Amino acid sequence: MKRDFILWIALLGGPIVWLISFETNFALAPWACIFQTKLALHVISIVALVLAAVSGLLAWQEWKGLSGEKEDRPGGSLPRSRSMALGGVLMSAMFFLVILAQSIPAIVLSACE
Amino acid sequence: MNQTEPIPNSSEREAQALRDLENSWQTPRGMIGWLSCTTHQAIGMRYIVTAFIFLLAGGIEALLIRLQLALPNNTLLGPDRYNEIFTTHGTTMMFLFAVPMMEGMAVYLVPLMLGTRNVAFPRLNAFGYWIYLAGAIFLYWGVFTNTAPDAGWFSYPPLSGPAYSPGKRVDFWAQMITFTEVSAMCVASELIATIFKMRAPGMSLNRIPLYCWSMLVQSFMVIFAMPAVMIASSYLLSDRTVGTHFVNPAEGGDPLLYQHVFWLFGHPEVYIIFIPALGFVSSIVTANSRREIFGYPGMVLSIVATGFIAFGLWVHHMFATGLPQIGEAYFTAASMMIAVTSGVQIFCWIATLWTGRLRMTAALHFVFGFIAIFVLGGLTGVILASVSLDVQVHDTFFVVAHFHYVLIGGALFPLFGAFYHWFPKITGRLMNEAVGKLNFWILFIGFNLTFFPMHILGLKGMTRRIYTYGSEMGWELGNILATIGAFIIAAGGVVFLINIFLSRNRGEIAGDNPWDADSFEWAAASPPKSYNFEYLPVATSRYPLWVAASERTFVTGLRNDRREVLVTTLMDAEPHHRLVLPRSSLWPLLTALAVTIGFIGSVFNAWYITYGSILTGLAFVGWFWPRLPVETKP
C-alpha cells in the first residue's frame, strides 16, 4: 500500500508540480510588471524544477529497488509496479523539460513586454 | 468465484445457465423496451448513428459554405445566412458529432475490451444519450425555425451579447452546450469507473489496452474541461436572459474572462476528440502489423502527458488579445512541448509498422493517411504556437486549414479506420475492402485538395468567416480548388455509405476474430450477445488473445439469473466483489425529459430552472427507488 502511494506520487508528481507552477506563474505575470521584478517567477520555476527532479529521483529509487525483487507468484503486482516506477522516471523527466522550457521567457523577456 | 477453472463441459445445466444469462440481460421487446434499454451495445450504437447523422448535416453545411466561397462576389448565400451556416457547421461538428461519436465508440467498445458485460452505470449511460439527443434536437429546432446561432462556434461576447445579438439565436447555442456537456460528463464518469473497477481479472494497469488508456485519459479531461464551457455558456446565457454582468462589457463585465474560460475547455476539447483516435490507431496498427505495439509504456505515458499538457495551451487561441508577453510565452513553450508527446506516439507506430508483418487493410490505409495529415497539421500547429507568427495569420484561413488538418486528419481518418476495423464485430459481416481502399483514396485526395490551398489563402490574407470577396484579391484559384475538393470529400462519404449498406446485408460473414487481433472484444461473438461473454475472460497477458487457447482461463461462479458482473481492484485487477447492475428502466428517459423541460424553458423564462429541478427531483425518486437485489426478469 505504501509502495503504491509512492508510485502514484512518482508518476503524477511531475505533471501536478508543472500545472501548479505554470498556473501560478501565469497569474503572476502581470504583477511582475507592476512591481518591476521577476523574482517570484524565477523562484517558482526553480522550486518546481527541484520538485519535479525529486519526483523523478523517487521513481528512479523505486525502480532500482523493484529491479532486484523477484516475482513471488504469477500475475503478481511486480511487473505493474516496475512499469509505474519507470513511468514515474519518464514523466518526471518530461515535465522537468516542460518547466524548464517555461522558465526561459522570464529570463529573456523584460517584466513589462 | 474462481478465476482459474476451465470452462465446464456442456450439459443441460449449462444450457439452462445460458438461458438464464440471456433472460437476465435481454432488453424487453417493443417500444417501451427500446426506450428503457440500458445495454452498452445499444446505447453505443445510438450515439454512433445519431452522431453520424450530424456528421452528414455538418457536411452539407460545409458544402454550402464552399459553394458560397467558390467564386468572388457570389450571392448564393447572404451574409446573415452565411453566418448561421458556418456557426451551425462548427457547432455541429464539435458538439454534436465529434465528441458524441468518440463517446459512442467507447461506450460500445470499452466494456468488450475490458472483458466485462456493461458499463459501470448503465442507467446514467442511457440518460446521457437522451440528454445529448435532446440538445441536438434543440439546436436544429432553432436552425429550422429561423433561430440558428450566428455568432461563431465559440460565440465571443460582445458580439454574442444582448447588444449585438438580440433574439434567441445565441441562447439556443448556449443551452445546447449545457445539454451536450452534461451528456459527455455522464459518459466520462461511467467510463472512468468501468476502466478502473471492471477490468478482467489479471488486467493490471500495465496490461490495459491502449484504446482504454486513451478513453481513461480522455474521460478525465472531459471531467475537468466540460464544466469550464458550461460556466462560460452560463455566463453568456445569464447575461442575456436575466441581465447579469459577467461577460457583457456594456455592464462592466469582462469579455476576456469568457475567452479564458471558453478556451480552458476549448483547447483540451481538441485533445478530447483526438486522444480516442490515438487509441483507434494503436488497435488497428497492432492487429494489422501482427505484432505487439512498440514502446507500450512510452505510448501510455505520452497519452497521460498529453492529457495534462493540453490544459496548458488555451492562451494560444488568445495571442491577439494583448496579454503580457511573458504569460503568452508560457503557452508557446507548452504548445511546442506537446509536440514531443505526439511525436513519441508517431515514432512508436512507425516502429511497430516497420517491424511488423503488414496486412494492408482499408483500416490501415486510413492510419497511414492519418499519420501523413496529422504530422502536417502538427507542423502548422508549431507555427501557430509562435506568438509573432500566430498574430500574422490570426483569424485567417491558415488557422482554418490547420485545425481541419488536425481534426479531420487526427480524428476523422482514424475514425473511418475504426469503422472498417470494428464493423465486423458490430454487424458480424466484413466491409468490402476494395471499396474501402477506394473510399480512403477519394477522402485523402479530396481532403488535401480542400484544405491545403487554405494555407495559401490564409497567408494571402483571406480572413475566416467572410461571406464573399472581390475578384481583385487573387483568391479565386485557392477557393475553387477547395470547393472541388469538398465535393470530392462528399463523394467519399457517399462511397462509404454505399459500402456500409451493401456490406451490412451482403458482406462476407466475419466470424469472431477476422483480423486475428489481440484484445478481448474479438473473443465475443460478432455481433456480441447482450451479455458479451458467456464466461468473463481472465487476462493472462497484455495481448490476451495471442496467448495459446489452452492457457486462457475464465471467471466462473457469477450468477446468471441477474445482471451480475465482477468488480476488480484498481491497480492489479484482482477479483474484489460481485456487483448487480440495474435492469432496463424508463427512468433515465423520464429524467432526461424533466431536465430538458428545465433547460429549454429557462431560455425563455428563468422560473423553468425551478420547475425543471422539481421535475428532475421527482424523476430521481423513481430512478433510485429501492428494489430487491435479485432480479430474474430484465
Backbone phi, psi, residue B429, to 5°: -130, 150
> Containing H/E element for B575?
strand B575-580
Mean pLDDT for chain A?
91
User: Which 3 state secondary structure label does DSSP give A111?
Assistant: coil
Query: For position B634, what pLDDT does the model report?
Result: 44
Query: For position B10, what pLDDT does the model report?
Result: 61
CA distances from B315 to A74, B260, B332, B335, B407 (A): 49, 7, 9, 10, 19
Q: Please name the residue of chain B whose CA is at the shortest distance from the CA of residue A11.
A: B301
CB contact under 8 A, A94 and B324: no
CB contact under 8 A, A87 and B540: no
Tell me the C-alpha distance between B363 and B172, whole Å: 38
Higher pLDDT, A66 or B52: B52
* Residue B507 Cα to chain centre, angstroms: 27
Query: For position B11, what pLDDT does the model report?
Result: 79
Q: What's the gap in Å between the CA of B458 and the closest CA on chain A?
A: 28
| Single-letter residue type at A94 | M
Q: Please name the residue of chain B whose CA is at the shortest distance from the CA of residue A78.
A: B572
Contacts of B312 in chain A (CB under 8 A): 18-19, 22, 98
Q: By the CB < 8 Å criterion, does A48 face chain B? A: no
Q: Which residues, including other chains, have CB under 8 Å from residue B237's CB and lie 6 or more apart?
A: B171, B174, B175, B602, B603
User: Which 3 state secondary structure label does DSSP give B568?
Assistant: strand
Q: By the CB < 8 Å criterion, does A29 face chain B? A: yes
Contacts of B297 in chain A (CB under 8 A): 83, 86-87, 90
Q: What percent of chain B has pLDDT over 70?
A: 97
Query: For position A70, what pLDDT does the model report?
Result: 79
Quickly count: other Cβ atoms within 10 Å of residue B252's Cβ.
8
Q: B554: which strand partners?
A: B537
Contacts of B327 in chain A (CB under 8 A): 26, 29-30
Query: For position B3, what pLDDT does the model report?
Result: 52
Residues B126, B204: contact at Cβ < 8 Å?
no
Quickly count: other Cβ atoms within 10 Å of residue B242's Cβ.
9
CA angle B107, B112, B117 (to 5 degrees): 90
Q: B537: which strand partners?
A: B554
Q: Which residues, including other chains, have CB under 8 Å from residue B461's CB and lie 6 or more apart?
A: B396, B473
Tell me the C-alpha distance between B203 and B518, whole Å: 13
Backbone phi, psi, residue B145, to 5°: -120, 30
Residues in chain A: 113
- Least CB–CB distance from A80: residue in B204, B309, B336: B204
Q: How many CA atoms lie within 13 A of B301 on its CB side?
A: 26
Higher pLDDT, A77 or B187: B187
Regions of chain B with pLDDT less than 50: 1, 632-634
Contacts of B315 in chain A (CB under 8 A): 26
**pLDDT surpassing 70 at residue A72:** no
CA distances from B273 to A90, B48, B152 (A): 25, 14, 19
DSSP output for B153-192: TTT-TTTTSTTTS-SSHHHHHHHHHHHHHHHHHHHHHHHH
Q: Which residues, including other chains, have CB under 8 Å from residue B501's CB and lie 6 or more apart?
A: none
Backbone phi, psi, residue B565, to 5°: -130, 170
CB contact under 8 A, A87 and B326: no
Tell me the C-alpha distance between B121 and B123, whole Å: 6
Query: For position B7, what pLDDT does the model report?
Result: 56
Query: For position B626, what pLDDT does the model report?
Result: 84
Tell me the C-alpha distance between B362 and B515, whole Å: 12
Find the chain B residues whose C-beta atoms sit closer than 8 A to any C-beta of A.
202, 204-207, 297-298, 300-301, 304-305, 308-309, 311-312, 315, 323-327, 329-330, 332-334, 336-337, 340-341, 540, 571-572
The tens digit of pLDDT for each residue in B426-470 reads 999 999 999 999 999 999 999 999 999 999 999 999 999 999 999
Residues B195, B208: contact at Cβ < 8 Å?
yes
Q: How confident is the model at residue A75 (pLDDT cuts 50, 70, 90)?
A: low
Handedness of CA B377, B382, B383, B388 (dihedral sign): positive
Q: By the CB < 8 Å criterion, does A4 face chain B? A: yes
- b/e for B396-427, b at 16 or more Cβ within 10 A? bbbbbbbbbbbbbbbbbbbbbbbbbbbbbbbb
Q: Please name the residue of chain B whose CA is at the shortest distance from the CA of residue A88.
A: B301
Q: By the CB < 8 Å criterion, does A5 face chain B? A: no
Q: Rg of chain B's alpha carbons, rounded to an integer?
A: 25
CB contact under 8 A, B325 and A113: yes
CB contact under 8 A, B326 and A80: no
Q: How confident is the model at residue A93 (pLDDT cuts 50, 70, 90)?
A: very high
**pLDDT surpassing 90 at residue A43:** yes
Q: By the CB < 8 Å criterion, does A33 face chain B? A: yes
